[in-house]
Structure 1
Amino acid sequence: MVICVTKGLSNLFPIYTKHLKLPRFIHSSRASLFTTGNMMNAKPPNVLIYSNVESIQQELVSFLRTVLAVNEYTVYPVTKHQVKARTWPESTNLFLVHGAVESDLAEEFLDFFLHGGKLMSVCSNLQSFVLSCKEWKADNLPQNALQRDAATSGKKFVTTLRDTQGATREAQFDELFWEKTNNSPSVVSLTDLKTGGKAVFSEIAFADSPNSSNLTSNTKSNLDFFRDLLKSQFGIKINLAIPPNVPAYANGYFLGNSRRKLHFLSQTVNPVKSGDLSLMFCKDLTDCLEPSSTMQPVLVHETPEDFDTVEYYNHLKSSHIGQLVIYLPVATSAMTIISHAELCHGFVIIPRQQTSGVGRSKNQWLSPKGCAMFSLQMHVPLNSPFGQRLPLIQHLVAVAVVRGIRGIANCDKLDIRLKWPNDIYANRVVKIGGLIINSRFDSDQAVVNIGCGLNVNNSSPTGCIDDLIREFNAKNNTNYPCLRIEQTLALIFNEIERLYDAIQCGEVDMQHLYDLYYENWLHQDIPVTMKDAKGSEMSGIVTGIDEYGYLLVKTDNIAQPFTVHPDGNSFDMMKGLIIPKYF
């Protein structure tokens, strides 16, 4: 029987803040970080997977990406180093652990659970650091050898744990499933009664045999079992269809006035090649080939039914940016398309949905309906103010996104701000948007491609601007309307061009952009912790950004601020990380 939580856990867990291996923004506890009143759910969408066997880890990633609800979660494999770096706790919805873990990793996982996190342990020795169980050996038995039954009369009791500060914590213990063959519990759970953290320990393997790495070939019964565990124990949203339904590719639409479109087509070889994809401009449906991941027909003289072109162009006041648009009901990745295509300055691709959205460092980019997404190509002369400071363009676009939203009637009252280097946050804690940027050089100019996703109408996976408006209406007895994506995009493009042209033409200097950026960002004078190449930790204060957009941090021991740049590892889309620039 499961008898007790191991005593002396205060020795197992070092002090929480001493786990830092990479610098990170100092923040409050997990429980308070995601408290936003009635506004949004605000749960982060990241699901992380650790296994000491790489092949099994990859199969688990594939398994979860199949069973988790589409456009609700991002699934990442993590390494031992990344676990110990502690860059992930505040940005993780669920952590799944498989196989053998060492004591230092066990400390990190259990600390996450005790601070309100969701933890699932599958055929791992992780439970041995918490639970004492003579019969439960976690033998990684094949599922078809287990006769599992729901433990309707299983043991339930409150037991004692100690958190990283050595404080006593109470947790509810529950036997969920019982294994008849070995006459022992096969799935148990612990719930921290203070933080609500949930840990589930399962002896049941995902594979049909102990040595199998083909985890997605389980029987329907076994697949349903784990889907039910994720849903019932953690509240994870699950795909109703396995494999998940993928939206069908459809014809795109070339938007703009006739003169602009004809001029572009006269200068363009049709089809436009973008990597493996061909953009085929068609006069009518008779010219169109079947849409696919490699063929994208684009109708030149038609307009879409689900994008109001009249509203869009009524609000668009720019001369170039956003005037020519390819609208795609379904795209693989608009950013991938525009990054490999030769277009013109200001050309925009607007997808309604994406099947393979990509963020920084090839991270997953969730693309649900209701998210305003665009990919913009800008041609920047190298001898111009922005040509000499290309990294500042991402800050220009970020500022323009926030100012474009606040330019909508009554939206100036919403708390929407910038998190360095490329995220949009609501109420200071909820990520509702982000940017990705890349560039290449072509003779005397840089071709800069910017991708942006902004949650406008979609409350999932984290929250959206409409949620902010509804919350404001409820608190102030107002009746402000929700946003239209067409108007929102047009006002953002207006603001991008206004700021870009003003600086490029010398109407204002670059300091104007810095002033606007500081008015709208989250980080002025906040404390950070850095670690240099020798392992020494330093504390400092954020003072601003430098001439190339990198973060400036002032320490007491050094007269001049340090320059730091964005973290380049697999957690680019996660909570506020910085790494010192020593090269």
Structure 2
Amino acid sequence: MSSKPPNILVYSEVEPVRLELISTLQRTLEPDRYTVYPLSAEQVRGRAWPDSTAALIVHGRLETSLAEVFADYFLNGGKLLGVCSDVAGLFDCGEVGDVTRVTKHLRDLRGEDHEVQVEVIAREDTSRTVSMKAVDELKTWGRAISTQIEFVPFEDNKQNLEIFKHVLSTELGIKFKTSHHEEALCYQSAFLVGSEEVKRSFLSGLSIPNKLKINPRKTSQPNSSTITSKPPTSAV
């Protein structure tokens, strides 16, 4: 079994949007839990990516053939966030009045039928038009969120960043950094065995402040040393 973290993939034909989504995810996701990659149209069609993917983020206009592959990923258990994307059209149920939840039957690329439930989860405050809906595959547990909120650029609207993270975490189960991760970063003492010259050379390359204590022993073994490291204010 591979120990490689699962992927979060980003597809957008708009390069600035794609790059900002990727950099934002890399900066805010829980450390060491995911690997974030861009996804090209060629890779989408190759379909080698679904099994190792924790979530897929799709932005903007799509060719029908690509939208169908993304929908197939969701129908077979994948987690998908569509942002102002044509993929939302595949889940259109012709909403009427105040109806917020409907059931629909879709077919995947292998011709298998799937029953999905479409639920409106957010509307515009004034116009009451749908701004976000959730689609659940009732057997495979696939889940897709479709939103018309244009999150990017995040620096112009910090609230959009918080909504983006909230949707991915609450609706799709993606883990983000919390203040706990910063507080929990605490290094313990460690032992090095070797000559003092080698040990000092090793420690000089560390970016974390550290303190070396030489503990001479009356044995045939080289001196052992205790390294005490604690970020970022420990004594040197």
Q: If the length of structure 2 is used for normalisation, what is the TM-score?
A: 0.76
1:171 counterpart = 2:116: yes
1:261 counterpart = 2:195: yes
Out of 70, 77, 80, the position equivalent to 1:116 is 77
Structure 1 unaligned segments of length 5 or more: list them: 1-32, 34-41, 136-152, 208-213, 273-278, 282-290, 303-323, 332-583
Out of 196, 199, 220, the position equivalent to 2:144 is 199
CA 246–56 in structure 1, closer or farther in 2 if over 3 Å, else same: farther
Out of 173, 181, 193, the position equivalent to 1:235 is 173
- Matched to 2:122, the amino acid is F
- Matched to 1:227, the amino acid is K
* Structure 2: distance between partners of 1:246 and 1:154: 45
- Matched to 1:301, the amino acid is I
Shift of 1:160: 0.8
Shift of 1:69: 2.4
* Structure 1: distance between partners of 2:167 and 2:144: 12
Of residues 222-231 and 171-180 in structure 1, the stretch that sits farther from structure 2 once superposed is 222-231
CA 329–72 in structure 1, closer or farther in 2 if over 3 Å, else same: farther
Aligned to 2:162: 224
Out of 16, 36, 40, the position equivalent to 1:75 is 36
Shift of 1:224: 2.8
The answer to whether the Cα contact below 8 Å between 1:188 and 1:200 also exists between their aligned partners in 2 is yes
CA 87–165 in structure 1, closer or farther in 2 if over 3 Å, else same: closer
- Matched to 1:65, the amino acid is Q
* Structure 1: distance between partners of 2:80 and 2:120: 16
Out of 119, 123, 129, the position equivalent to 1:184 is 129
1:62 counterpart = 2:23: yes
Aligned to 1:299: 212
* Structure 2: distance between partners of 1:77 and 1:328: 40
* Structure 2: distance between partners of 1:246 and 1:85: 42
Shift of 1:262: 4.1
Out of 42, 60, 65, the position equivalent to 1:99 is 60
Q: Secondary structure at the match of 1:161?
A: strand
Structure 2 unaligned segments of length 5 or more: list them: 216-223, 232-236
Aligned to 1:362: none
Q: Secondary structure at the match of 2:204?
A: strand
1:88 counterpart = 2:88: no
Shift of 1:64: 2.0
Q: Secondary structure at the match of 1:57?
A: helix
Shift of 1:82: 2.0
* Structure 1: distance between partners of 2:123 and 2:101: 13
- Matched to 1:261, the amino acid is S
Aligned to 2:219: none
CA 164–178 in structure 1, closer or farther in 2 if over 3 Å, else same: same
Shift of 1:230: 1.7
Shift of 1:172: 0.7
CA 172–134 in structure 1, closer or farther in 2 if over 3 Å, else same: closer
CA 64–301 in structure 1, closer or farther in 2 if over 3 Å, else same: same
Indicate the structure (1 or 2) with the bigger Cα radius of gyration: 1
* Structure 2: distance between partners of 1:101 and 1:246: 42
Q: Secondary structure at the match of 1:47?
A: strand
* Structure 2: distance between partners of 1:177 and 1:62: 27
CA 62–168 in structure 1, closer or farther in 2 if over 3 Å, else same: same
* Structure 1: distance between partners of 2:118 and 2:174: 21
Q: If the length of structure 1 is used for normalisation, what is the TM-score?
A: 0.34
User: Number of residue pairs matched?
Assistant: 223
- Matched to 2:212, the amino acid is L
Superposition RMSD in Å:
3.8
- Matched to 1:113, the amino acid is F
- Matched to 2:30, the amino acid is A
CA 250–69 in structure 1, closer or farther in 2 if over 3 Å, else same: closer
CA 252–173 in structure 1, closer or farther in 2 if over 3 Å, else same: same
* Structure 1: distance between partners of 2:51 and 2:225: 38
Shift of 1:246: 7.8
CA 191–271 in structure 1, closer or farther in 2 if over 3 Å, else same: same
* Structure 2: distance between partners of 1:233 and 1:326: 46
Out of 165, 187, 204, the position equivalent to 1:280 is 204
CA 178–301 in structure 1, closer or farther in 2 if over 3 Å, else same: same
* Structure 1: distance between partners of 2:183 and 2:42: 34
Shift of 1:253: 5.4
Shift of 1:248: 6.4
CA 134–250 in structure 1, closer or farther in 2 if over 3 Å, else same: closer
The answer to whether the Cα contact below 8 Å between 2:68 and 2:109 also exists between their aligned partners in 1 is no
Shift of 1:107: 1.8
CA 167–254 in structure 1, closer or farther in 2 if over 3 Å, else same: closer
The answer to whether the Cα contact below 8 Å between 1:198 and 1:234 also exists between their aligned partners in 2 is yes
* Structure 2: distance between partners of 1:298 and 1:225: 43
Q: How does 1:520-535 map to 2 (within 5 A)?
A: none
The answer to whether the Cα contact below 8 Å between 2:192 and 2:225 also exists between their aligned partners in 1 is yes
* Structure 1: distance between partners of 2:126 and 2:100: 19
Aligned to 2:234: none
